[in-house]
Amino acid sequence: MAILAIGWFDSDKNIVCKISKFWAEWMIWSAGIQYDVIGLDNLLPQKQYVFMSNHESALDILLGVVAIPNKIVFLAKKELFLIPVFGWAMKVSGMIKIDRQRPEIARKSVDHAVDTLVRSRLSTLIYPEGTRSESGELLPFKKGGFILAIRSQLPVVPVTIIGAGKALPKGKINIRKARITVIIDKPILTHDMDYNDKEELLQKCQEIIIYNLTYLKNNRNASYELYPT
């Protein structure tokens, strides 16, 4: 309701993003979740990025909002915007509508998303697997988010969330108290890339997240070192 009241007048989404972060922080705290964030020094708070995260749990959305200091909006399917109150709040908070019904409409949706990001100071958080992984193993990445990053010329930042799947697995509603690690790696620049580089960009991001998942899951007590460049 606060977002609905303020969002119409908050053109830069500064207040809306602060409300969203406060709400997400409260939700995480009330669920008994503790979290550590590694790699915040890789980000500039006023810069725009396309964050790419693995996805094991519904908690990933909350963790992304609280862990990333930049102003975040999500790409969401158009049907969600039709939900009373919830959909209205999504619209005024700056969420970007995506229509995936037909290829030509999907392309127009991507055009709209690129235009929105280029004209704003907002970053976006994408889950390139497209759905939550039930096993914890990383699913194949879809290309759409990487095409968006190349077309908007925004750096891609790999984000790895470790432990959320155990705290709230896909299909479950009971949240277990847990300590979760969020790793924010160094941005991958896209300003010299074009459409033909999408596979290379995808693979680079995927390698980083796989490295993090493999290294930290097997070495929970080890001091973490970022993916070697």
Mean pLDDT, the chain, whole residue set: 85
All residues at 6 or more sequence positions from 3 whose CB lies less than 8 Å from its CB, including other chains: 16, 19, 20, 89, 92, 93
**Tens-digit pLDDT profile for residues 172-213:** 888 888 899 999 999 999 998 999 999 999 999 999 999 999
Helix axes 103-118, 144-152, angle to 10 degrees: 40
- Is pTM beyond 0.95? Reply is no
Q: Which two tokens stand for residue 53?
A: 């995260």
What Cα–Cα distance (Å) separates residue 15 from each residue in 5, 9, 154, 183?
11, 10, 23, 26
Strand partners for 35: 180
For residues 20 and 3, which has the higher predicted lDDT (pLDDT)? 20
d(CA 50, CA 43): 12
**Which percentage of the chain shows pLDDT scores above 70?**
89
Beginning with the edge strand found earlier in the chain, give each strand of the sheet holding 33-38 in spatial order.
33-38, 178-184, 156-162, 50-53, 123-126, 72-73
What Cα–Cα distance (Å) separates residue 65 from each residue in 71, 125, 182?
9, 9, 11
What is the topology classification, in CATH, of domain 32-74+99-218? Glycerol-3-phosphate (1)-acyltransferase (3.40.1130)
Q: What pLDDT, on a 0 to 100 scale, did the predictor assign at position 207?
A: 96
- Tell me the H-state helices in 56-131: 59-67, 86-92, 103-118
Q: What pLDDT, on a 0 to 100 scale, did the predictor assign at position 227?
A: 45
Instruction: Rounding to the nearest 10 degrees, give the CA dihedral for residues 204, 205, 206, 211.
Output: 90
Strand partners for 138: none
d(CA 168, CA 174): 7
d(CA 229, CA 219): 20
What Cα–Cα distance (Å) separates residue 153 from each residue in 43, 119, 178, 199?
16, 12, 37, 15
- Domain map of the chain by residue range? 32-74+99-218
Q: What is the DSSP string of 158-192?
A: EEEEESHHHHS-TT--PPPPEEEEEEE---B--TT
**Tens-digit pLDDT profile for residues 65-121:** 999 999 888 887 778 888 888 787 877 777 887 776 666 776 777 788 888 888 888
